[in-house]
Amino acid sequence: MKVFLSLARLYLQSFYNLPGARRRSGAASGAQRVAASRPAANFRTMLKAVGIGLLAVFVLANFGFMFVSLNLVLYDSLAPLGLQGFVLLNAVILASVLTLLVGFMTALSTYFMNDMEFQLLALPIPPRALLGAKFTAVYVAEALLSLLVMASAMLIFAIKRQPPALFYVAGSLAGLLVPLPVLALVYAAQIPLLSFARFLRNKQAILVVGGLVGIAFAIVFNLYYQGMMANMSDSVWLLRNAGPDSVLAQFGRAWPPAYFAWQAMVAPGLVGFGRNLLPLAAICLGAPLLLIVLLGGRYAQSLVGFNEQFIRKMTAPASSGFLADRLRTGNRFWSLVKREIVGMNREPMYFLNGPFIIVLLPVLMAVMLGVQREALLEGESLQALTGLLANGAGTVVVALAGAFLGSGTSITCTALSRDAKLLPYLKSLPVPAHHWLLAKLVHGLIFAVFGVAMAALIFGFFFRLAPLDLAAGSLVGLALSFLCNLLGLLLDTVNPRLSWDNPIAAMKQNPNAVIIMLGVMGLMGGIAYLSFRFRLTTGQFVLLCGGLPAALFVVLLLALPGWAARRFTALEV
Amino acid sequence: MLEFSGISKSYAKSPVKAVDGLELRVADGEIFGFLGPNGAGKTTTIKLLTGVLRPDAGRMDIDGIDIAAEPLRAKRRFGYVSDNPELFARLKAYEYLNFVADVFGVSSLDRQQRIDHYAGLFEIKDVLHGSIGSFSHGMKQKLLVIASLLHDPANWILDEPMVGLDPKSAFALKEIMRQRSRDGKLVFFSTHVMEVAEKLCDRIGIINKGRLIFSGSVAELRAAQGADSSLEKLFLELVDDEAEAQP
Ligand SMILES: Nc1ncnc2c1ncn2[C@@H]1O[C@H](COP(=O)(O)OP(=O)(O)OP(=O)(O)O)[C@@H](O)[C@H]1O
Ligand SMILES: [Mg+2]
């Protein structure tokens, strides 16, 4: 038990990059350790914490708002039919499905974290403790998600009906318990899968599969949400899809945890509790136990031989031919850029959390626009919309979407952090400091161009914008995303995250990425406000929102060989 | 030729100096071994010399070029093998070699010949199309060594290059060092392997707690310590004496 607890703590710390893990990890450099005791550094640590906190609040509020509004509409539509209880069933099922999908991805991508797992395998740890600890670490995030869903449903009931206190107890317990059997199922599927499918036992394959599942999940969820919201006024549709005979309800009755959780909330009394919460707890606690007892050993075995790579050796003549073929001089600066591109985009962890956004968001947008196209393009609303878009709004929309896609790749604002391990070597090469920075910027700009093109493509296609409007919007989008990329690079030069053992830390948990993301969103909001408030003409819009950032970009570019290069040279690694 | 004069460095303004007032001169054609206990300041010295870190005081010249004043010119004069070969895992081996060769402006013909020669010597020619991430520690180490020789530098600086090399490759590495020295080129490397230092080096330097406590040939060290023992014994005694001298 003691082993299990300290293992669970270790996993929790390195999953969520809690301070304990960083302090204990040997890789935290002495410099950082010494610096941490200084007030300036403390302030910086605080800033980071505040930044990450802001992001968390932002994301939570976003999802919370979505769930609450969904439940509110659902309640208002079902209450007249006396079926408001189904809102709760709906919430329980939503929590189950969400934890299934998120759990599937989290469990898969953390199945084998890094070579730390090999060291754990070499320790005398019972395999069941190993699986149990990992389960616990994944469960924590799942429980939070599930609680969020349940809380959003309970909030509606709190406002509309003032249920007894026991209702909230039941709801919270349900929120905590529901993910447990779901996650057990996930592992029960993944452990045999990874034991037998060798090709999956590779971080790369796992991340690719995870990314695809992620897209599929995002699309399905989007469709579900859009469909729900679009058809709320149609009571026949509603009954069919959320009423007592719907697939959802049937599924709810067939999946006992959902049924018991739902009943416990509908009948929150001591008797109801005994009849519903006890079986719920038994199932939900029993499932993980069963999993750990039965599959613990298999799980530990499936970790063996993870990340094996196979290189086929060349024959002697083949290798001579290969060398003559592939070893060629190239342009020096382009060589630097190529290294940036390959180094980032061949690492699935970086690619999926960075440049992949250029593919992911447009796919989502296209699906959304595809679904709503009929609604958008019907009769009067169509006329209003085309009128608005032709009057310059189309340019603004393309510009903002382009700016977002072009700046959201997190390429430049993590460029130095990602290179932390390489910096000593790179700095020993005869390359001027600002060339390194410039190469990082060019990498960001190349993807910015892709992002803007993607935005122009989608909106141009769906809204049939005039070519001139499209060009104007793309120009502004380019100017904005170029500026944001440069700002991101400068930010990561001032405050890179250099001590990490897991690439996630350089990318996902990099406060610079968060700051730039929030900054871009703020900028977009500001520009949208400006352009509509002052009814800017397209010409004015291009001049103000495109020309100004472009000028600023050029001015800031001067900082690269000067101030930024000096910062880079002074970095101690 | 390498010259350190009055080099000092402390990390993050920590009061303890990682390198303290280093004075040292290494001549062309010399193989110089840099010894010292863990944490003595060997890697720090090498990072200072290669321009990775900047000294708090003092100056360093590589072939008479001040590295602080003319970093690019100075950096073209040496090849560097860092102590950590776990780099560039996502690149293919030949991509990495092309990258370094491009940075140094090595012609296609030169890079092909040199890579063919050294990769043959280290027996990794048949995997140069593979991803570095799939290489063993020793294979990565060899790749780093090859990359450092692509521009045939006058000065070769290596940080613990023997770690993880099999006997045959370690032998090949020592042979390359000897050959370069015969050609009048300089080799500067840190190591913990006393036999290698004793047999290979023209001169050694011993650093402890950031201060150079000896530099000269092994024979000179014997004379100074007044004992006719192995370098291993001499080294241990010298470092112990130091510890007693300043508790
Ligand atoms: N990045 C860093 N930040 C702070 N202090 C450091 C850093 N790197 C090294 N030090 C400190 O500098 C001193 C010298 O370290 P250095 O790495 O130069 O030793 P070394 O002689 O190479 O040791 P080893 O034989 O273990 O490689 C040590 O006290 C070490 O703690
Ligand atoms: Mg060292």
Given a contact cutoff of 8 angstroms between Cβ atoms, the answer to whether A435 and A333 are in contact is: yes
Whose CA is closest to atom 30 on ligand 1? B39
Asked whether residue A398 is assigned to any structural domain, the reply reads yes
- Reported as half-sphere exposure (CB side, CA atoms, 13 A), residue A27 has a value of 11
Regions of chain B short of the pLDDT cut 50: none
Given a contact cutoff of 8 angstroms between Cβ atoms, the answer to whether A546 and A475 are in contact is: yes
Identify from A428, A501, A569 which residue to disrupt to test chain B contact, counting B C-beta atoms within 10 A and taking the largest count.
Answer: A428
What tokens does B62 get? Answer: 């590589």
**Are A426 and A525 contained in the same domain?**
yes
The mean per-residue pLDDT over the stretch A133-144 comes to: 91
CB within 6 Å of ligand 1 — which residues? A 29-31; B 11-12, 18, 36, 38-44
Whose CA is closest to atom 25 on ligand 1? B38
What pLDDT score was predicted for residue A12?
Answer: 81
- Nearest atom within ligand 1 for CA of residue B42: 21
CA–CA distance, B174 with B167 (Å, rounded to integer): 11
> Which of the two residues, A500 and A442, has the higher pLDDT score?
A442
Asked whether residue A212 is assigned to any structural domain, the reply reads yes
> Which of the two residues, A425 and A225, has the higher pLDDT score?
A425
Whose CA is closest to atom 22 on ligand 1? B43
Range of A529's domain? 333-570
**Are A259 and A339 contained in the same domain?**
no
Per DSSP, the residues of B168-213 read HHHHHHHHHHHHHHHTT-EEEEE-S-HHHHHHH-SEEEEEETTEEE
Of B80, B102, B129, the CB nearest to A322: B129
> Which of the two residues, A102 and A378, has the higher pLDDT score?
A102
Mutate to test the pocket of ligand 1, among B17, B43, B158 (most ligand atoms within 8 A of CB): B43
Q: Whose structure tokens read 């840190």?
A: B190
Asked whether residue A27 is assigned to any structural domain, the reply reads no
- Of the residues A250, A283, A303, the one at which a domain ends: A303
Strands, E assignment, A124-253: none
What pLDDT score was predicted for residue A21?
Answer: 40
pLDDT in tens, B171-229: 999 999 999 999 999 999 999 999 999 999 999 999 999 999 999 999 999 888 887 88
β-pairing verdict for B78-81 and B19-26: unpaired
Of B80, B90, B108, the CB nearest to A343: B90
The mean per-residue pLDDT over the stretch A368-390 comes to: 61
3-state helix, strand, coil in chain B (%, to 5): 45, 25, 35
Q: Residue A55: which pLDDT band, with cuts at 50, 70 and 90?
A: low
Q: Residue A378: which pLDDT band, with cuts at 50, 70 and 90?
A: low
Closest to B245 (Cα-Cα) out of B206, B209, B194, B191? B209
Say if the Cβ atoms of A329 and B106 lie within 8 Å.
yes
β-pairing verdict for B2-9 and B57-62: antiparallel
What pLDDT score was predicted for residue A538?
Answer: 85
**Are A55 and A106 contained in the same domain?**
yes
For the cut 50, the answer to whether the pLDDT of residue A34 exceeds it is no
- Nearest atom within ligand 1 for CA of residue B19: 14
**Are A129 and A229 contained in the same domain?**
yes
**Are A297 and A380 contained in the same domain?**
no
- Reported as half-sphere exposure (CB side, CA atoms, 13 A), residue B136 has a value of 7
**Are A399 and A506 contained in the same domain?**
yes
Percent of chain A scored above 90 by pLDDT?
31
Asked whether residue A13 is assigned to any structural domain, the reply reads no
What pLDDT score was predicted for residue A28?
Answer: 37
| Enclosing H/E stretch for B156 | strand B155-159
The neighbouring-strand residues paired with B59 are B5
- B2-77+155-245: what fold? Rossmann fold (3.40.50)
Percent of chain A scored above 70 by pLDDT?
83
CA–CA distance, A124 with A128 (Å, rounded to integer): 12
Of B54, B72, B126, the CB nearest to A313: B126
Strands, E assignment, B10-99: 19-26, 31-35, 57-62, 65-66, 78-81
Q: Residue A464: which pLDDT band, with cuts at 50, 70 and 90?
A: confident
Closest to A147 (Cα-Cα) out of A116, A180, A111? A180
CA–CA distance, A92 with A256 (Å, rounded to integer): 11
Per DSSP, the residues of A286-334 read HHHHHHHHHHHHHHHHHHTTTT----PPPPHHHHHHHHHHH-----HHH
CA distance A555 to chain B (A): 26
| Torsions phi, psi for B211 (to 5 deg) | -110, 135
Q: Name the domain count of chain A.
A: 2
**Are A441 and A533 contained in the same domain?**
yes
The residues, ordered by sequence, that sit 6+ positions from B52 with a Cβ below 8 Å of its Cβ are: A423, A424, A425, A427, A428, A573
Asked whether residue A320 is assigned to any structural domain, the reply reads no
Per DSSP, the residues of A36-85 read TTSHHHHHHHHHHHHHHHHHHHHHHHHHHHHHHHHHHHHHHHHGGGT-TH
Looking at all shown ligands, the one closest to residue A573's CA atom is 1
In this complex, is the C-beta atom of B90 within 8 Å of any C-beta atom belonging to chain A?
Answer: yes
Q: DSSP class of residue A547?
A: I
- This model of the complex carries an ipTM of 0.90
> Which of the two residues, A243 and B59, has the higher pLDDT score?
B59
Given a contact cutoff of 8 angstroms between Cβ atoms, the answer to whether A300 and A121 are in contact is: yes
Domain range summary for chain B, segments of one domain joined by + = 2-77+155-245, 87-152
pLDDT in tens, A408-437: 999 999 999 999 999 999 999 999 999 999
The mean per-residue pLDDT over the stretch A147-164 comes to: 87
For the cut 70, the answer to whether the pLDDT of residue A380 exceeds it is no
**Are A286 and A339 contained in the same domain?**
no
CB-CB neighbors (< 8 A) of A430 in chain B? 71-73, 75-76, 103-104
Helix, coil or strand: residue B80: strand
Mutate to test the pocket of ligand 1, among B9, B10, B17, B42 (most ligand atoms within 8 A of CB): B42
The residues, ordered by sequence, that sit 6+ positions from A153 with a Cβ below 8 Å of its Cβ are: A67, A71, A87, A88, A90, A91, A171
Q: Model-level pTM?
A: 0.80
**Are A527 and A460 contained in the same domain?**
yes
Mean pLDDT of chain A: 82
CB-CB neighbors (< 8 A) of A423 in chain B? 52
pLDDT in tens, A84-129: 788 888 888 888 888 888 888 888 878 887 777 888 888 888 889 9
**Are A76 and A177 contained in the same domain?**
yes
CA–CA distance, A262 with A90 (Å, rounded to integer): 9
If 0-12 CB within 10 Å is exposed, 13-18 middle and 19+ buried, where does residue A198 land?
Answer: exposed
Angle (CA) A22-A11-A288 rounded to 5° is 165
β-pairing verdict for B203-208 and B31-35: parallel
Helices A179-196, A165-177: crossing angle, 10 deg rounding = 0
Say if the Cβ atoms of A329 and B97 lie within 8 Å.
no
Q: DSSP class of residue B33?
A: E
